[in-house]
Structure formats: C-alpha cells, structure tokens
Amino acid sequence: MQAAFFGVIAFLSILSAILMVMNRNPVRSALFLVANFALLAVLYLTLAAQFIAAVEIIVYAGAIMVLFLFVLMLLSLGASHALRERGGLQPLVAIILGLIFLASLSAAGAIGTLGPGQATPQWVKNGGTVKAIGTALFDPRLPWLFPFEVTSILLLVAVVGAIVLAKRRV
Amino acid sequence: MSVAHSGSADARRSGQFVGVIFVFIVLLVIAAVIGHLTLPGLAPVWHFLGAHPILNALVKAVVYVSFIALLVLFLIWWERKFAGWLQARLGPKHVGPQGMLQTLADALKLITKEDITPAVADRPLFYLAPFVVFVPTVLTFMVLPLGPHWIAQDLNVALLYVIAISSMTATGIMAAGWGSNNKYSLLGGVRAVAQLLSYEVPMVMAVLSVVTFVGGLSMRHIIDYQAQNGWLILKWPLIPAFLIFLIAALAELNRTPFDLPEAESELVSGFHTEYSGMRFAFFFLAEFANNFFSAGFAVALFFGGYLGPILPGIVWFILKTFVLITLMMWIRWTVPRLRIDQMMGLCWKLLVPLSLVVFILAAAWASR
Amino acid sequence: MATELKNYNTASAQAQGIQIDPIDEQTMVINMGPQHPSTHGVLRVILELDGENIVNATCHIGYVHTGIEKEGEFQTYLKAVTITDRLDYVSASINNLAYTLSVEKLLGVAPPPRGQYLRVMLCELQRIASHLVWLGTHALDIGAMTVFFFAFREREKILDLFEMMSGVRMMPSWIVPGGLRGDAPEGYFERVKAFVDEFPYRIEEYETLIDQNPIWLERTQGIGILTPEECMALGVSGPTLRATGVPHDLRKAVPYCSYDQFRFEVPIGKYSDVYDRYRVRMAEMRQSREIIKQALENMPDGPFNVDDRKVMPPPREELDHSMESVIHHFKWWTEGIHPPVGEAYVPVESPKGELGFYLVSNGSNYPWRMHVRGPSFMNLQSLATMAKGRLIADVVAMIGSIDIVLGEIDR
C-alpha cells in the first residue's frame, strides 16, 4: 500500500514537473510548480520528515512561488502571452546543467554516509523531527552551527542588497 | 426600511437580545450533551474506525466538512445579528427563530443561482480557485483541539502544519484573481497575496513565541502545558504576542480594517468579483471557516483551549472561540479600512520588528 | 451557461472615442464605473494605474442624464419646482429654494418674514440631511460601515419631519415661488425642537466613531489637497472651497432669504485635505442646527405667502364670496404666473456649494431658458487634479470628500 501511494505521488509530481516545463503560459507553469512542491512535501511526509515537508510548503509553495506568481501576474496583466524566448543557447545549457545535477545527485547517493541497515524505522522517525534538526543545527559539537550562521548572514546581505538596489532606482 | 422608528424599537431589540442569548444557550447545551455522550457510547465505532485507516479518514473528512458548513451557517447569522445591534438595526428576523435560517435561505439562493463564467476567463484556474481556497481551510481544522478527545489528527508538528497549509490559500486567491481576467479581480488578488505573505511573518513569530514557552509543536502538548501552568496569555511576554497574532489574523482573514483585497468601495469585490452562485459561496464559506479556525487557534494557543471547570471541554472551547470571534466582528464593524501602503507599513515597520522583540523576550523568559 | 462579458482595455476605450494614452506598457487602464459601488451613482472614472498608483484620472459623465434643464423650459414656473427636486436629490428643498428665488427675482416679490423663516428652517434641515448622507457614504467608502447606519438614522428623522410638513419624504417641493405650499402643521415646531435638542449628541456619536480613529486620520489627512487658487480656477465652491481656508459662504456673502438675521459662523479648514472637508461639514451641521434653533425661537407670526394674487392663489375662504378670487384661483392653477421679461440668477449655498438657476423670461408662463449652475459639476472637475500620483483607495476617499450627486451633474 505504501508503495502504491508512493507510486501515485511520484507519478503526479513528475507529471506536474513535466507540465511545468512544457506549459507556455508562465502563470500556469508556476502553478504546476506549486503543485510539484506540494507533492514533494507529501513524499517527505511519507519519509517521516515532517519538518522538511512543512518547510517545503511554507517556504517554496507558500512564499517563493507566490512571489513569483505575483510578479508574473503584475507583468502579464491579464493578457496571457506565452514566453517568446526560444532557441539560442538556453536549452543546451539547461540540458548540460541538468546532467551535471543528476550526476552530482547520484554521486552523493553513492558516497553517502548512510550505510546499509542503518536506516531503521526508529532512526528515520527520530531523524525528521524538528527537535532532531534543531539539535543538529545548533549543537556546537557538530560542524553545522558555523555554516548555518554564515548562511543567515548571507541572507541578510542579500536582503540589504535588494533594498539598496530598489532604493537606487527610486 | 419598514421597521418602525418609534420608541418600541428599543424594546424589541432588547427582547431580541434575550432571544439570541437563549438560542446560544440551547446550542451550547446540545454541544455539551454531545460532548458527554459520544465517547463512551461510541467506543466500538472508534475502535472499528481505528482498524480501517482509510475509512477513518473518510468519516472524519465528512464529519468535519459538515461541521464546518453548519458552523459557518451559524457564524454568518451571528455576524449579521451582531452587526445589526452595533448599527442600530435588527438584523435577520423573519426566517426561522430569530432569523437563524436566513443564512440557509441565502445558501439555497446561491446554489440555485446561475454559475457565470466570464468569456475571457482562464477556465481551469477560474473553476479550481474556490476549491483551492476552501480545501486548506478544511485541512487546518484537522489539528484544532475542539475538546479533550476531539482532535482529528494530533500531529507532532501541528503548528508548522497550520502555518504551511494556511499559506496555500494565497495560491487559490491568486488563481481566482488572475483567472477571472478582470482588472479588479487581479488587483484584489495582488493585494490579497501581498497581505497574506506579509502578515504571515508576524503571525509565525507570535506562534513561535508560544512554542518557545511550551517546547513543542503539538496542539495537545500546548494544551497540556496550559493545564499545568495556566493560560499562556497570563505570561506577560505573550500578551503582545497575542495582540500581534490577533492583528495578523485579522489581516490573514481579509477582515476590516484589512479587507483591502475585497474592498467593496474600491475594487468592487476584489478577487471574487466575477464569481457567482456556489463558487462564490465557497469563498464565503472558506472566509468564515477561516475566521472560526483563527479564533479557535488563538484560543488553543493563548486561552487554554478546551480547559475550563464543570462544563465539558467542547463547550468551553466554543464559548471562548465565540468571544474572540465577536471581538473580531466588533473591530470589523467599528473601524474604517486601511490603505495599501499603510497596511504594508503597519506590518513591516511595526509588527515584524515588534514580533521579533516579543519572540526574543519570550525565548529569554522561557529559558530562565 | 457562460455569459459573454467583454474585457475593457485601452483599445476598447479608444473605440468608444475616449482618448487614453498609456505612458508605457507597465500601466493598466481600469474603468471605474459607471457601475461601481463608490462612484455615488453612475460616475465613470477612467484610471490609468501603475501598480496601484494613479497616473491619470478622467471623469466621464452623462450616464444619468435627465434633461432637467431642457424640461424646465417646457413646464410652467410652478410645475418646474417639482423637477428641481430631482437635481440634487438629497437636498431637494434647497434646489426648490434656488429656483424659487430666481423666479421671485423675476417677479420682484419676496415672501413675508414667516415664510422666510420657514424656508430657512426647511433648508437647514435639508442641509443637515444632505451632510448626513454625505457622511454616511463617505465613511462607507473609507470602510466604516457603521457610521452609515448611524447617519441614516438621523436623516430618517429629518425625512419624517419633511413628511409631516409636506407628505413627501425626499422630494417635498414645499418651497414655491411666492412662499410655501403651506404652513407648518400643528406640533411641527415641537418635533423640530426635539430633533434639534438631540442632534448635538448624535454628532458627537459620529465623531467618537471616526474623529479620533487613527485609521480614519491616516486615510484622510494630507489626501486630496486642493489649493485655494486651484479651487477658484476650477470653480469649486461649498465646503470643499471652505476647507482650503476661504470663508466664502453665500449665506454670508450675499444673504438671501433673511439669512442676515441669523447668527452663525462659517467654518473653514486649514490644510484643504479630505479630513478638513470632513471637519468643515461636521461644523456646518452644528451651525445649521444653531440656525434652526434661532429660526424656531424667533419664528414670526403672520402670513407666510406673498399677498399678491398673481403670484399666490387666494385662500380657500375667499372663493366663497369673491368672484375676483375665483378668477385668480382659476388663472393661477391653469396658467400659473407670468413674470415680466427679463433674466435672473440668484445663487444659494447648497450643501455642495454654489447652486443657482439662471432663468430668462419672455413674459410667458414658461421660462424661455433655464440653466442650472450645479456645484457638483464644478466640484467634480477637481478630481483629476487631486488624484494624480495617489492610490486607488485615495480616489475613493476624494470622490466621497467632494460630495457629488450625479443627478445634479448630468442635468
């Protein structure tokens, strides 16, 4: 039953991803991406990673994609004209980058630290909770605290940069 | 307005007041009886459902959707009645006792109305949008602790779940605004999304302040904490957190003073301008259901949820929630509407910094 | 199932002969009205928006064109009174008065003091009623719905007073050339007194709802500013002009109808924004109440109509014993009045501003020409000046603040 469920969700998420790429209407494209994120969140849930699932929806489907849509709607203003950019280097670059991404994903899977037999149900259950992730991120004995703080500074810089750019234009 | 302008109007109004209070009490008694009876009596049923998860989910979904629909019928009636009192008029009076069936009559009218689709609408989006708005609303009810044993799914990330699911509403509103292919709808959709996204930040911070106190994300955990340590609203760093939550909730619900997305006098009806009949009813249903949920969520977070002496939990929960909803209605019928820049300014310049401060205070207080 | 609905855009606007010149593709043209909840009737404003900011606002009128001006030339002087009610339909008595004063100027008559005082009382009640409608709808536009119901509650009482006097609530037509259609009924002044005594508390009630409300202040202060010069250039009058600090009130400037015998102040504003217009109108309601109070206290006795059988018909008793009266009665009811050749224009201070009827008489019982100087029409011109660079929500507040009635614009 779990396998069937996974199959359905995986199929739907791949379908929505394909539709997202194939659709010529940018708004619909974005909405398919939202659907894709939601389905991915469901997949995370089946892996007992509730925190990741919630964050996936809050951050990607709820905030980032809505902002995307926001901009798209303001720009296209009702007239649903399709994206005109065709040809050029874009598809080629996209394919190459996609292959590189696939290769790195497979490499990561191959050299991952998770040995066989390690992913017991109990381990999975404890690994995905908010508490586990919080402890992992903020425990000074683990190596993740520094990168985490650096990332937040990076985000802060990005925010300040955005404001500076926006202000300069006004 | 054929209602007399004579002195008897006041007398009639006070008579009506007694009538409405009576209706309330009757409803609460019914709820109390149900709250007492269900559990021991229906234990075998629960047992059976527990063994069949899919059937269980289906039953729960049906029960909850009907519960929400009934609740909304009652809420709309109460809002009209309350607004009537505030505005020196009587409110619905003729259909059913104290006009209680007026909403039902309106719902029937909406069902029988023509379902108009603009010729230039983006049909799939236009048709889907009301349901995309309504479904997250129903989903959020799943974690609402209505009573000690009345919680559909006690997720251990309930708060995160609520935040995540309720943010999906924005997509539906946006689809409605864009799919209608009407400029008022589009502007309404754009306003709604800007508002929803912005006010989510202080709302989440307020909720997180509660989490730092309680140390858990599950609803039951929060209620249990309050059962031992008293209501969270009594812990002083959480008083501003509650106020921030209330303001942000008003904004998330698109209620005055934050009803810009459907500002009647500016954008006709905002994102649901082009909707009619049942599709419009779904937006309406979602709005009121969300209203109940937000109030109930606040009650669970800050006012002890279903905790209370003597009466069964669900009665306490509904009582507290209705007090909070009435407060929201009172605000709605008293204040004018903000302008878009003022609305954004209030959020980003006041509420977000304030909520960060409150969060830090709450964290410091909790880790003493 | 699907109903065909046309989308409105720049091209379709141009097809209708409306010139819209979008500055660039980023702007959106939006058609506000004629069917829109806050255009106070059927005003149509074409807004060019950049996001929510207004680049351009163009008003289009004529959707409720009634032909009242032309119709006035095909009605006898007496019958035309009833159509003047329909101009600014929320201040009917003052329209009656403006028309009547012009006719009386043509005739060269004026009613006795009691008639004058009754007129003043009616007109000031009407002014309060009109301002209450304005207050309610303006607050509704800004989003405060409750004020609307409170304001209409008091307006209802004023309409009851009109009904008691004339039998009609909104369109009394009680002020006619030569005086009034009838005296105040028994017990009328007591009821007016009761209203006048109660009203200050009611104004305070409205003010507690909105005056100190930070949202109201934010929404109205500094919005829709018009300089006195702009007002003069555009012909803006009434409270909108007075909010800029110009104490121009025709009741003081060219007193008519014995307004010079009343003590009242002309409230003026300072910052000439939407909020000042609100303050000015609230103060005017208080002043109108003062005037009504004085009219009640000093109400003269005696006749209230012109004692001229060519202008007003003889009383009923005379018809039984005077042949001359019967003839006068017959002539008055069939032919009406025959003002001498000439022209007249008497402006009055309507709740919206300067209202006047320009009448040309060729000696017959029909006016040869009737032209209405409607304040709403002039005031509406200021909208484009105010709206540029503001937000949509502000436009709604501005339309509310200049207090227009489309019946007077599309006459």
Which other chains touch chain B, taking contact as 3+ CB pairs less than 8 Å apart? A, C
Q: Domain A1-77+126-138 has what CATH class?
A: mainly alpha
Asked if the model's pLDDT at residue B239 lies above 70, the reply is yes
CB contact under 8 A, B89 and C140: no
Residues of B in contact with A53 (CB under 8 A): 164
Rounded to 5 degrees, what angle do the CA atoms C274, C280, C285 make? 130
Most confident range, picked from A58-67, A143-152, B20-29, C283-292: C283-292
Secondary structure letter of residue C318 according to DSSP: G
Do B306 and B153 form a contact (C-beta atoms < 8 A)? no
The gap between the terminal CA atoms of chain B, to the nearest Å, is 61
Which other chains touch chain C, taking contact as 3+ CB pairs less than 8 Å apart? A, B
CA of C217, closest CA in chain B: separation in Å? Answer: 10
pLDDT for position B6 = 43
pLDDT for position B1 = 36
pLDDT for position C4 = 36
Q: Percent of chain A, pLDDT > 70?
A: 80
Name the pTM for this structure: 0.81
Asked if the model's pLDDT at residue C10 lies above 90, the reply is no
Residues A166, C24: Cα–Cα separation, whole Å: 20
For B93-138, what is each residue's pLDDT tens digit? Answer: 788 777 778 888 888 888 888 888 888 777 888 888 888 888 888 8
Residues C396, B266: Cα–Cα separation, whole Å: 6
Q: Closest CB to A73: pick one of B156, B174, B182.
A: B174
Complex-level ipTM: 0.76
Q: Which of C392, C394, C398, C401 to probe the B interface (max B CBs under 10 A)? A: C392
Residues of B in contact with C145 (CB under 8 A): 83, 87, 256, 333
CB contact under 8 A, B337 and C215: yes
What is the three-class DSSP state of A128? Answer: coil
Residues of C in contact with A78 (CB under 8 A): 7
Residue B201, chain A, CB below 8 Å: the answer is no
Residues of A in contact with C28 (CB under 8 A): 77
Asked if the model's pLDDT at residue A150 lies above 70, the reply is yes
Spell out which chain A residues touch chain C, with contact meaning CB-CB distance below 8 angstroms.
74, 77-78
Asked if the model's pLDDT at residue A97 lies above 90, the reply is yes
Q: Which of A73, A76, A77 to probe the C interface (max C CBs under 10 A)? A: A77
Q: How confident is the model at residue B2 (pLDDT cuts 50, 70, 90)?
A: very low
Residue B194, chain C, CB below 8 Å: the answer is no
Q: How confident is the model at residue C309 (pLDDT cuts 50, 70, 90)?
A: confident
Rounded mean pLDDT, C187-208: 88
CA of C53, closest CA in chain A: separation in Å? Answer: 13
Least confident of A85-94, B22-31, C253-262: B22-31
CB contact under 8 A, A74 and C7: no
Residues C295, A35: Cα–Cα separation, whole Å: 72
CB contact under 8 A, C51 and A77: no
pLDDT for position A154 = 92
pLDDT for position C24 = 52
- Domain segments of chain A as ranges: 1-77+126-138, 144-170
The secondary structure of chain B, three-state, reads CCCCCCCHHHHHHHHHHHHHHHHHHHHHHHHHHHHHHHHHHCHHHHHHHHHCHHHHHHHHHHHHHHHHHHHHHHHHHHHHHHHHHHCCCCCCCCCCHHHCCHHHHHHHHHHHCCCCCCCCCCHHHHHHHHHHHHHHHHHHHHHCCCECCECCCCCCCHHHHHHHHHCCHHHHHHHHHHHCCCHHHHHHHHHHHHHHHHHHHHHHHHHHHHHHHHCCCCHHHHHHHHHHHCCHHHCCCHHHHHHHHHHHHHHHCCCCCCCHHHCHHHHCCHHHCCCCHHHHHHHHHHHHHHHHHHHHHHHHHHCCCCCCCCCCHHHHHHHHHHHHHHHHHHHHCCCCCCCHHHHHHHHHHHHHHHHHHHHHHHHHHHCC
pLDDT for position A165 = 84
Q: Closest CB to B161: pick one of A38, A54, A65.
A: A54
pLDDT for position A27 = 77
Residues of C in contact with B89 (CB under 8 A): 149
pLDDT for position C3 = 34
pLDDT for position C15 = 56
Please tell me the total number of residues recorded for chain C in this structure. 411
Most confident range, picked from B144-148, B214-218, B272-276, C244-248: C244-248
Q: Which of A28, A58, A131 to probe the B interface (max B CBs under 10 A)? A: A58
Rounded mean pLDDT, B31-43: 58
CB contact under 8 A, A78 and C51: no
Q: How confident is the model at residue B31 (pLDDT cuts 50, 70, 90)?
A: low
Rounded mean pLDDT, B18-26: 69
Asked if the model's pLDDT at residue C199 lies above 50, the reply is yes
Residues of B in contact with A58 (CB under 8 A): 160, 163-164, 167
Q: How confident is the model at residue B33 (pLDDT cuts 50, 70, 90)?
A: low
CB contact under 8 A, C210 and B265: no
Q: Percent of chain B, pLDDT > 90?
A: 0
Asked if the model's pLDDT at residue C6 lies above 50, the reply is no
CB contact under 8 A, C36 and B268: yes
Q: Which of residues 150-179 of B touch A (CB under 8 A)?
A: 155-157, 160-161, 163-165, 167-168, 170-171, 174-175, 177-178
What does pLDDT average to over chain C?
A: 84
CB contact under 8 A, C4 and B342: no
Least confident of A101-115, B71-85, B289-303, C24-38: C24-38
CB contact under 8 A, C391 and B340: yes
For A17-40, what is each residue's pLDDT tens digit? Answer: 888 888 777 778 888 888 888 888
Asked if the model's pLDDT at residue A100 lies above 90, the reply is yes
CB contact under 8 A, A74 and C51: yes
Residues A64, A86: Cα–Cα separation, whole Å: 25
pLDDT for position A157 = 92
Q: Which of B135, B178, B184, B367 to probe the A interface (max A CBs under 10 A)? A: B178
